[in-house]
Copies of this chain bind each other. A is one copy, B any other.
Amino acid sequence: MEKPGEPAPQVIFETNPASYRHWSLKVDGELAFLTLKVTPFGGVSSELELKSNSYDLSVDVELADAVQRLRFTHPGVKCAVITSGHEKVFCAGANIYMLASSSHPFKVNFCKYTNETRLYLEDASENSGLRFLAACNGATAGGGYELALACDEIALTDDGSSTVSLPEVPLLAVLPGTGGLTRVVDKRKVRRDLADAFSTLAEGVKGKRAVQWGLVDAVIPRSKFVDGVLARARALAAGAPEVARGPGIQLEALEPKVSPGKVEYRHVTLAIDESSRIARLEVRAPAQDPPKSAEEALARGSAAWGIRAARELDDALLRLRFIHGDVGLVLLRTAGDRKKAHAAGELLAGPEKDAWILRETRLLWARVLRRLDVTAKSFFAVVDPTSCFAGPLFELLVAADRSFVLDQAQVGCRPGPLAGGLLPSWSGVSRLESRFFKDPARAQAVLAAGREGEIDAAAMDELGLCTVFADEIDFEEELRVAVEERASLSPDALTGMEASYRVVGPETMATKIFGRLSAWQNWIFIRPNATGEHGALTVYGKPERPKFDWRRT
């Protein structure tokens, strides 16, 4: 499993409905229908794959894209029904053979991505007035049930055989990888002893008992399933929060220019130095004046800097995770006109902030920045005279693990109104708040200074925005030493350390999933009982029984 140097899979995160291979997206007024029918990956186990409607990363990439497009292109949709194109199976979760043959880093990144996608469903439900109904028209197992758990409601067909189940513990000796355990007890609030029984029952729970235990919201006889689902979907749509909606914009393709060691987007450049395992990620301010109103923003569509730069940064982060696994340290740089970046942020937080296009643009930035927060790389922000940590880009300064600030007149930054809580981290608090957890007045002081204008280098230091503050004589040397030192440390220990320090204060379901559940899962994935020669994941589907080291830790 641990084979350093094996080539990384060339995964692509850009797609669009016309290219979907696994999902179909149908919009019908206030309702949308997302139907999963997985196209098998080919190979020996295709038939089994087809029957189980089980997914790999490409299935989740399409799902994430579909949800994004529902928000931007079909903002009039109030309820999306997630169902299966098969007769007797909703979804059996992640493809076990894919998982068993994947490297540990891929497994972890795969689960992280699917977790983000599930949390984005809940984000859309909470903030965009888009409810989700899982219409489980057949067996709903493992990751399939976890997908249902991320929806607002779960309806299960009552056909005498279809169950919901989390068979990971009994069958595979791993944990459900997509937040299942947390959602069962923390979201659906299933009694913990029943949750315990459920999660060790490979065959799952069906019918009335599934409702009694709180695992699903309703069971519907098979003959009435389609009508029953429609009725529930309409009820969910009717109860969806009243938010501004429409008319919707298309999301243009990003199509970055990819060359060895470099990915170039319009506003973002990702440069990789494989030998030093260091990346440089630069995000640039808008080149033209940002829109002055929601109407202007809408007219620019997805070509607007506010949308495009965020999507580019998102794509770059995913490439960093999946393609550049050896990179341990990312130097976060920004460039461009601070006034323009600040103006872009002011519009997103201004009097028109509830206009749907501005709300969705802001929510997009929040998601992308949270993607950064849970990326297992160190981030150092570098602030020099060309930097533009302003508007939404100010968050990159406070998202970074450290900031290196040059003591020079032209250096500055500009926190705007977005920084006051409109781009919350997964813990629900702003990055400024969690930075100044000891003294919230200091976060307020930074915001107040930002309201006055640009904060110069000396004031940045005084306000607590600099980890290292050095003049021209020392700056490059301090940065060089810190970078070399960071790149020399154990990647595992850094991941654990950053996962602790980036989540200060309150915990939420999301931080529980990324912190608690993912950490346990990381550990379990790597244990011989799961992935060793005789581990349950390794021998799954073979006649061999797994062999366990019984010591409990």
Contact = CB atoms under 8 A, between A and B. Distances in A.
A26 interface: no
A201 to B, nearest CB: 9
Interface in A464-519: 464, 467, 485-486, 489-507, 512, 515-517, 519
A491 B552 contact: yes
A404 B177 CA distance: 29
Interface stretch (A37-45, A233-241, A356-364, A395-403): A395-403
Interface in A440-457: none
Interface stretch (A220-228, A246-254, A410-418, A543-551): A543-551
Contact of A520 (B2, B485, B496, B526): B496
Contact of A192 (B195, B504, B512): B504
Nearest to A467: B193
A492 B493 CA distance: 21
A552 B105 contact: yes
A99 interface: no
Contact of A546 (B172, B195, B326, B490): B490
Contacts of A496: 175, 181, 517, 520-521, 523-524
Which of A173, A501, A512 counts the most chain B CB atoms within 10 A? A501
A548 B500 contact: no
A544 to B, nearest CB: 15
Bin chain A's interface residue count. 35 or more
Given A4-B550, A552-B376, A553-B522, A529 B491 contact: yes
A272 B327 CA distance: 49
Interface in A70-99: none
Contacts of A550: 4, 277, 326, 328, 491
A407 interface: no
Contacts of A516: 499-500, 503, 515-516, 519
A529 B496 CA distance: 13
Given A169-B490, A328-B550, A490-B548, 10 more contacts: A173-B490, A175-B496, A192-B434, A192-B435, A277-B550, A327-B552, A490-B524, A490-B546, A491-B549, A515-B519
In the A-B complex, the 6 residue pairs with the closest CB atoms: A189-B438, A173-B490, A519-B519, A523-B523, A496-B520, A507-B507
